[in-house]
Amino acid sequence: MRKLKLDELNRVSVAEFKKNDKLPVAIVLDNVRSMHNIGSIFRTADGFAVEQICLCGITAQPPHREIEKTALGATLSVSWHYYITPLEAISQLRQEGYRIIGIEQAEKSTMLQEFIPVKEEKYALVFGNEVNGVSDEVMQNIDACIEIPQFGTKHSFNIVVSAGIILWDFFTKITALPA
């Protein structure tokens, strides 16, 4: 077996990417500290062609060298906006017709495998701070909460791992739904 070369991957240009259909998902980063995590989420968002990323609070904004180390240019392809607070982002997204979903371990959360997205809906997925998770004020303003099942000794996944798991799940479920 031979690995494919970069020019064999048939990737679209940034201009083509911006014109292409997107997964009806916005990512909201609620005070994410690590610029490497932010960059990795940009790269993952590019890979799944999400509509946008909302950077909130202390979450750093491009252009920044530390973000680019892991984003590898995805800050140019993925649409992003900065909001002083995550509540501002949620308010704007709700006005745009997004259903707001916290990704958190919480009372009455829905396990990821049980969540079935509706093809005609748009989703704003809120990922929280690496230490404190999704903020309490945001948790009071979400429409639903999804939890990723875990079976080990640790309390949570890294935010980038969580984003990858959730986005893959949404991508497979939404693209499998009948038109």
The domain in which residue 41 lies consists of 21-148+156-176
Q: Is residue 124 part of a domain?
A: yes
Number of H helices, E strands in the chain: 7, 7
CATH of the domain at 70: 3.40.1280.10
Instruction: Say what the pLDDT of residue 176 is.
Output: 83
CA distance 102 to 134: 7
Q: Is residue 53 part of a domain?
A: yes
Domain count, the chain: 1
Contact 83, 30 (CB under 8 A): no
Strand partners, 25: 123
pTM of the model: 0.96
Residue 149 backbone zone (phi > 0: left; psi -120 to 50: alpha; other: beta): beta
The pLDDT tens digits along the chain (179 residues) read: 999 999 999 999 999 999 999 999 999 999 999 999 999 999 999 999 999 999 999 999 999 999 999 999 999 999 999 999 999 999 999 999 999 999 999 999 999 999 999 989 999 999 999 999 999 999 999 999 999 999 999 999 999 999 999 999 999 999 987 76
Instruction: Say what the pLDDT of residue 179 is.
Output: 65
Q: Is residue 71 part of a domain?
A: yes
Q: Is residue 15 part of a domain?
A: no
Q: Is residue 65 part of a domain?
A: yes
